[in-house]
Chain A
């Protein structure tokens, strides 16, 4: 088990180095003079030249890449050109905001998705099955932008149940400790604020969680259907076990492996930031951070941001692989 873990971690390095190479070459293939974009129309030719020197844009491609890798090896993640602030410091609140939103979305997606999938398989070809799968189909193809705006119209503007934007009530701000507001309010014992923060999470996490929910529901259903037809389930039923236990205890455990893979992949994808959801709900997450860096040609932020996301993604995949073994004793890493 340990040797397996070490092997897996070792494999991460070439993956990440390959990642830097790809990101670096793509970024440098984007047309547009970064100095001009960064400093704007109003900057002088001199300051643009100074910026080019400072960024090393006058050096060769390979030289720039090695400089960048050298900085990375020393633990220097670079400084944002636009805000002139170290990225390692700047990105933390963005990551926290994304983490919170992802957690809430995946909680929603997994809970609803898995249960809908199980019930659909359990009552295959029933009206519930059909309805759930039609909703799942709509969910997969739903444009997030539209869904988000409709949610705001309905739940904020018409019904006044929920706030439309942001992470908290600005008139009653949360004391920041970890940047995860749910956690911060609990740590501070501010239960009124916790409720407010949760209310701010509901709409964006539904918008963001709808697609993963639909995917998970479909995956659970097909995986469950396969298992439900196997012999041991028939045996369990035959010995008079309650339907509920058969489904949720025996069948689910075996059906869960592919579902877990999907959940892992979706979590990774959401952690990469969700530009659309973040834009509509004014959620200060990592997606918009990188998106804005791209529009202002903030090279260091794009590179480091993508690298961090790639890193998170591979780590999540590793965790999912380890979870397999925990769920299914037949899977054993040696």
Chain B
């Protein structure tokens, strides 16, 4: 920092302080009524809350705000995080994994043909508004999502996740949802769906109180009512969401906290300052740059989310010479993933080999990556007919925004540009604004190679491989325009197969085909970082970025 700038700053700020209340003096160092718990960094004096009973309010800082609080109409992670506390689904993911376990449904049975699922519901569960949770409530919710003419599909609503997980109108997977009796509900399917239970467990299919939906109508998306561990209290947009303890929660002994306040603090360093200053207890998305400060502070602790994403470079098959597998393989050999991870991810990532993360079942360990080897790269280019490198410069689209899987796309692109230069491939990096970026890569007219990523939704390999690389996903998420009929047969076969062992085999084969074709250069699977107070316990980071706050407590 510049010395004179600093002096001027202090002078000006001093003037400001003197102006705004002249009260700095007698209140110096007393953050009791603002911070609540200032013990974070250097204040040895215990603040009111730490001295007596343990703290029972959690303040969480995150980068964005929810778009809406009705989980059925959103697809963004920030919205679903809150919904996850207010709603329960029939099934849920075991904390910290993508394995399915019982939630509102105690048990379930599936017929051998995979066309009928029967769920036994947990008895005696009530919604926050006091009405009963029962089979009728489940039926009501699924009808609301599936019937395009439902009177509870309010203006502006669209049930996107329902459409993408259970098929759009006209091609629905679920034929009918029936209330067999008070606590039994039966799903009849049009065709078997292998990831059916995985899908049912998603937060977006949390069961809402029918009475509240009918009563609040359009306003339900601002005042959600579910059966979850926390009751919605207040939403100040772009500022905070307040949740109170559900004292009648059906899971014994939960939640442990009395109150949760989720704040939107867009700037990463300001959020970290707020954590160090004790204004928040837990923060999401720590910049890798702040890691050393965090680790030197004993009052704070680092929390890692298991990697459940992939960042990649995709080749545009519509452009020559990227329809040539030798060229794609050559460029794959010329990316030094480990160096990129050390330089731009502070080591908080692992090199990606396959299009899906290793923590997901079905991952193929035996697939070998194209190792970093510039000589091999040159040899492959020569085989493809380009002994002196590519004649024309390559347009590389680098992400203009920061995403958990790719904090700084432009810098990574520059590192790759330098490597490719060495094998005679000139690269022009382009980074249009995000909406345009998505448009362009979807059209596939301007970009030769593009950078993108994906975070898993539901813990099924289908959600990576089919969603991103099948020919059905053109136009859409298959922005490489990669078509392989054999792969298509495997992936669609795996969707209808209900035996998990067989599905695992199919997905392993699929990964081998993809590796050989090299439509992508998978770059990294990142470990998103969180930071919290050292006395915060019971927080289990989840792969999909959605965690339960009900088990959290302070020591």
Contacts and interface: CB of A to CB of B under 8 A. Distances in A.
Interface of A: 30-34, 36-37, 39-47, 50-51, 54, 79, 81-85, 90, 93-94, 97, 104, 108, 111-112, 134-135, 138-139, 147-157, 159-167, 169-173, 176, 192, 195-196, 198-202, 205-206, 209-210, 279-282, 284, 288-289, 292, 295, 297
Interface in B241-298: 242, 261, 263-267, 269-271, 273-274, 276-277, 279
A236 B464 CA distance: 83
A206 B12 contact: yes
A93 B237 contact: yes
12 contacts: A37-B434, A40-B160, A42-B75, A43-B160, A81-B156, A97-B239, A112-B15, A147-B9, A164-B277, A170-B240, A282-B266, A289-B237
Overall SS of chain A's interface? helix
B242 A36 contact: no
B551 interface: no
B76 to A, nearest CB: 7
Contacts of B236: 93, 176, 284
Interface string B15-26: 111011101100
Across the A-B interface, give the 8 residue pairs with the lowest CB-CB distance, nearest first: A32-B435, A84-B156, A284-B239, A284-B238, A171-B36, A282-B265, A37-B435, A206-B16
Contacts of A111: 19
A90 B38 CA distance: 34
A108 B457 CA distance: 49
Interface of B: 1, 5-6, 8-13, 15-17, 19-21, 23-24, 27-29, 31, 33-38, 41-43, 57, 59, 67-68, 73, 75-76, 154-158, 160-161, 163-164, 168-169, 218, 221-222, 236-240, 242, 261, 263-267, 269-271, 273-274, 276-277, 279, 432-436, 438-439, 442, 454, 457, 475-477
Contacts of B222: 85
B280 to A, nearest CB: 8
A279 B267 CA distance: 6
Contacts of A90: 237
Contact of A163 (B10, B277, B438): B277
A60 B29 CA distance: 61
B261 A170 contact: yes
B442 A167 contact: no
A161 B158 contact: no
Given A160-B38, A205-B20, 13 more contacts: A31-B432, A39-B160, A42-B164, A43-B164, A44-B160, A44-B168, A47-B163, A104-B20, A159-B29, A165-B270, A165-B271, A196-B33, A279-B267
B73 A172 contact: no
Nearest to B154: A84
Given A84-B221, A210-B12, A282 B267 contact: yes
Given A36-B442, A108-B20, A149 B168 contact: no
A281 B269 CA distance: 10
A164 B273 contact: yes
Given A41-B438, A42-B75, A44-B168, A94 B33 contact: no
A265 B442 CA distance: 44
A42 B457 contact: yes
A165 B265 CA distance: 8
Contacts of B23: 195
B276 A157 contact: yes
A166 B273 CA distance: 12
Given A94-B238, A202-B20, A295-B434, A165 B160 contact: no
A163 B435 contact: no
Contacts of B164: 42-44
A292 to B, nearest CB: 8
A152 B9 CA distance: 12
Contacts of B76: 40
B34 A43 contact: no
A80 B156 CA distance: 9
Best-buried of A111, A157, A159 by chain B (most CB within 10 Å)? A157
A31 B57 contact: no
B38 A36 contact: no
B217 to A, nearest CB: 12
A135 B11 contact: yes
Given A82-B67, A161-B28, A164-B274, A39 B435 contact: no
B273 A196 contact: no
A94 B237 contact: yes
B308 to A, nearest CB: 15
Given A36-B435, A36-B442, A280-B270, A200 B157 contact: no
A152 B279 CA distance: 12
B16 A112 contact: yes
A148 B267 CA distance: 11
A111 B29 CA distance: 27
Nearest to A32: B435
Nearest to A148: B270
Contact of B35 (A40, A163, A192, A282): A163
Contacts of B239: 93, 97, 166-167, 282, 284
Contact of A199 (B6, B34, B75, B240): B34
A163 B59 CA distance: 15
Contact of B476 (A45, A170, A206): A45
Nearest to A86: B218
B522 to A, nearest CB: 17
B221 A31 contact: no
Contact of A84 (B68, B75, B169): B68
A42 B265 contact: no
B439 A36 contact: yes
Nearest to A176: B236
Contacts of B8: 134-135, 138
A43 B75 contact: yes
B273 A153 contact: yes
